[in-house]
Amino acid sequence: MHFDQAIRAVTGCAQSNARAYPAASEAEAELTATQRQHVAGLMRVNHAGEVAAQALYHGQGIVSKNKQIQAQMQQAALEEGNHLAWCSQRLLELNSHASYLNPVWYVGSFMIGAVAGLVGDQWSLGFVAETEYQVGKHLEEHMKLLPEQDSKSIKILQQMQRDEEQHREDAIHAGAATLPFFIRKLMRWTANVMVKTAYYI
């Protein structure tokens, strides 16, 4: 089952609870070739981030002995599956492709998630809260970088940002511990490598 989930996340057929596409009612904006390429780069980064989020949750879910945490991680992965599907769809609309390095992001994040999960549930939840916080900040930055007429991409990122904030709050309510500074720094550094690379490939 976990192998199936991994293949689905990496190939873009992730399981989700199939929420409606937030950009469905928006018309396609007039974009120059350069703008289109830039938007595709940004959406590829967001797509890769969602692959990584799925992997984190899968990794944490697989090692946790706590049934409630396992269920919460599975549910979170399903919700990230919606984000993955939305970013995939937007990339298709832009005639672009997902990151070729998605399997790398998946494996790396899965291992990080599994290690966090092994350390203990409150740290695992702390990891979720910090990840969601960093993703939220990153989405905010991306919204400033998108061409203002691209309401389709903006709608998608706005909805994702609201969801990530909810995921963060859920983790805090479930008992997340605050991670040490150097771990947060390391997470930011790792995310940066992905952001810089997935924009291009």
Nearest CA among 45, 53, 40, 54 for reference residue 153 = 40
Q: Which of 121, 130, 150, 164 is the binder for Fe ion (CB under 5 A)?
A: 164
- Determine if 170 is a binding residue for Fe ion (CB under 5 A): no
The one-letter amino acid code at 157 reads L
> Among residue numbers 83 through 102, which ones bind Fe ion (CB under 5 A)?
83
Q: Token pair of 133, please?
A: 């916080």
Distance CA 77, CA 73 (A): 6
Smaller CB separation from Fe ion, 130 or 150:
130
Smaller CB separation from Fe ion, 29 or 187:
187
Least distance (Å) from Fe ion to the CB of residue 30? 28
Nearest CA among 84, 64, 70, 104 for reference residue 17 = 84
Q: Which of 80, 130, 150, 170 is the binder for Fe ion (CB under 5 A)?
A: 80
Smaller CB separation from Fe ion, 25 or 166:
166
The one-letter amino acid code at 164 reads E
Smaller CB separation from Fe ion, 80 or 150:
80
Q: Which of 157, 167, 170, 198 is the binder for Fe ion (CB under 5 A)?
A: 167
8-43 in b/e form (b: 16+ CB < 10 A) is: bbbebebbbeeeebbbeeeeebebeeeebebbbbbb
Nearest CA among 35, 15, 30 for reference residue 146 = 35
Task: Tell me which stretch binds Fe ion (CB under 5 A): 6-14, 24-32, 34-42, 75-83.
Answer: 75-83
Query: For binding to Fe ion (CB under 5 A), which residues are involved?
Result: 80, 83, 132, 164, 167
